[in-house]
Structure 1
Amino acid sequence: MEGFFKRYLRLYRPMITSLNELLSTNELSYSLWEVVFYIKKNGPSTLVDIANYYNVEKPTITRRVHRLEELQIVKQIAGQDRREKIIQLTESGEEVYKECRGKITDLEMRVMEDIGQEEREIVFNILPKIQENIVKKGRE
Structure 2
Amino acid sequence: MDERIIEAVDLFQEVMFYGTERVIRAVDNPLWNEYSPEQIQTLKLISKEEKITSSRLALLQSVHKSAISSRIKKLLQKDLIRIVQTEDRREKLLELTEAGKEVLEQSDKVLTDYIGKLLSDQVEDEEIEQFLIIFRKLKEIIKMDGV
Q: TM-score, normalised by structure 1?
A: 0.71
CA RMSD of aligned residues (A): 3.1
Judged with a 3 Å threshold, the aligned counterparts in structure 2 of structure 1 residues 53 and 10 are, in CA distance, closer, same or farther, namely closer
Percent pairwise identity = 21
Residue 19 of structure 2 corresponds to which residue in structure 1?
15
CA distance in 2, matches of 1:124, 1:56: 29
Residue 107 of structure 1 corresponds to which residue in structure 2?
114
CA distance in 1, matches of 2:28, 2:81: 16
Structure 1 residue 74 displacement after superposition = 1.0
CA distance in 2, matches of 1:20, 1:73: 21
Any gaps of 5 or more consecutive residues in structure 2?
Answer: none
Q: How many residue pairs end up in the alignment?
A: 133
Judged with a 3 Å threshold, the aligned counterparts in structure 2 of structure 1 residues 93 and 57 are, in CA distance, closer, same or farther, namely same
Residue 116 of structure 1 corresponds to which residue in structure 2?
124
Question: 1:67-110 CA distances to partner (integer Å, 9 max, x unpaired)?
Answer: 21122211212123333221111121111111111111112212
Q: TM-score, normalised by structure 2?
A: 0.69
CA distance in 1, matches of 2:21, 2:14: 12
Judged with a 3 Å threshold, the aligned counterparts in structure 2 of structure 1 residues 121 and 39 are, in CA distance, closer, same or farther, namely same
Counterpart amino acid of residue 20 in structure 1? I
CA distance in 2, matches of 1:79, 1:50: 17
CA distance in 2, matches of 1:42, 1:19: 24
Question: 1:41-86 CA distances to partner (integer Å, 9 max, x unpaired)?
Answer: 2212111222233333332222211121122211212123333221
Q: Kindly report structure 1 stretches of 4+ aligned residues shifted beyond 6 Å.
A: none
